[in-house]
C-alpha cells in the first residue's frame, strides 16, 4: 500500500465545494510525452490525447448542473484547464484580497461529491481507463493535481492567455524532449 500524503495540497480552510473559478493542472506519470505533439505552436492530439479530451468534455456534460468548463490545453505530458463551479451560471469574477474561509472547515478526502477534488478524481480515473483501452496498459497520471483558486477577472484573463500560449512555449519547457 502506498503511503498517504500527510498534508493536503489543497488550501486548508477553503471549501472547494463553493462556487468559484479554478485553474487546474495534471501531469502524466514520469512526465511521459504521450498526449500530444506540438508542431509550430499547434497542438496535435495523439489517440491518447483525444481520449483524454473526450473524457474532459464528458466530465462537463455529466456535471452540467455543477460546473462549466473553461479554457484548456492538452500538452504532450500535462493538461491545464479552467473550471467554473456554479449551479446556474459562470460566477462573476469579483476581485478580492483574501479568499473566503469557512470557519472550522477541514479539508478531507471523502466520497464523491460536489467539489474540485471529486471532479479531478473521477476525470483522471475515466481518462486512465480510456487511454488504457487504447493499448497503453501502463498509462498513469501523476498523483494529485495542482490548483489555483482564481481571484479576479484579470487573473482569469492572464491564465486564459497562458493556456492559449502554452503550446508555443513548449520548446522552452524543461520537459521538452528536443
What CA–CA distances, in Å, run from 139 to 48, 67, 118? Answer: 9, 27, 21
Q: Does a structural domain hold residue 177?
A: no
Does any domain span residue 33?
yes
Q: Report if residue 12 sits inside a domain.
A: no
How many Cβ atoms are within 10 Å of 59's Cβ, its own excluded?
21
Is there a domain that residue 153 lies in? yes
Number of domains in the chain: 1
d(CA 158, CA 131): 31
- Whether 14 is in a domain gets the answer no
Give domain status of residue 8, yes or no.
no
Domain range for residue 124?
20-94+101-172
Q: And the C-alpha cell for 13?
A: 480552510
Q: For the chain, 178 residues long, give each residue's pLDDT as a single digit of tens.
A: 555 544 445 455 555 556 788 999 999 999 999 999 999 999 999 999 999 999 999 999 998 888 889 999 999 999 999 999 876 555 555 444 444 444 454 444 444 467 888 899 999 999 999 999 999 999 999 999 999 988 888 999 999 999 999 999 988 877 767 6
Q: Which residue has the cell 479554457?
A: 71
Strands (E), the chain: 20-27, 36-39, 42-45, 67-74, 78-85, 146-150
Q: Is 13 within the bounds of a domain?
A: no
In a domain, residue 105? The reply is yes
Predicted TM-score of the model (pTM): 0.81
CATH number at residue 107: 3.30.70.1290
Amino acid at each position: 500500500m502506498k503511503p498517504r500524503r500527510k498534508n493536503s495540497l489543497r488550501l486548508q480552510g477553503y471549501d472547494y465545494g463553493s462556487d468559484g473559478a479554478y485553474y487546474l493542472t495534471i501531469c502524466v506519470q514520469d512526465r511521459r510525452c504521450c498526449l500530444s505533439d506540438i508542431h509550430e505552436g499547434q497542438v496535435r492530439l495523439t489517440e491518447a490525447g483525444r481520449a483524454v479530451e473526450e473524457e474532459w468534455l464528458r466530465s462537463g456534460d455529466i456535471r452540467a448542473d455543477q460546473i462549466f468548463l473553461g479554457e484548456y490545453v492538452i500538452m504532450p505530458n500535462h493538461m491545464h484547464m479552467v473550471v467554473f463551479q456554479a449551479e446556474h451560471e459562470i460566477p462573476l469574477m469579483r476581485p478580492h484580497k483574501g479568499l473566503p474561509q469557512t470557519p472550522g472547515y477541514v479539508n478531507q478526502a471523502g466520497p464523491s461529491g460536489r467539489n474540485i477534488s471529486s471532479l479531478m478524481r473521477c476525470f483522471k480515473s475515466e481518462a486512465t481507463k480510456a487511454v488504457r483501452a487504447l493499448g497503453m496498459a501502463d498509462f498513469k497520471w501523476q498523483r494529485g493535481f495542482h490548483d489555483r483558486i482564481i481571484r479576479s477577472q484579470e487573473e482569469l484573463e492572464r491564465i486564459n492567455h497562458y493556456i492559449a500560449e502554452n503550446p508555443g512555449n513548449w520548446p522552452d519547457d524543461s520537459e521538452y524532449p528536443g
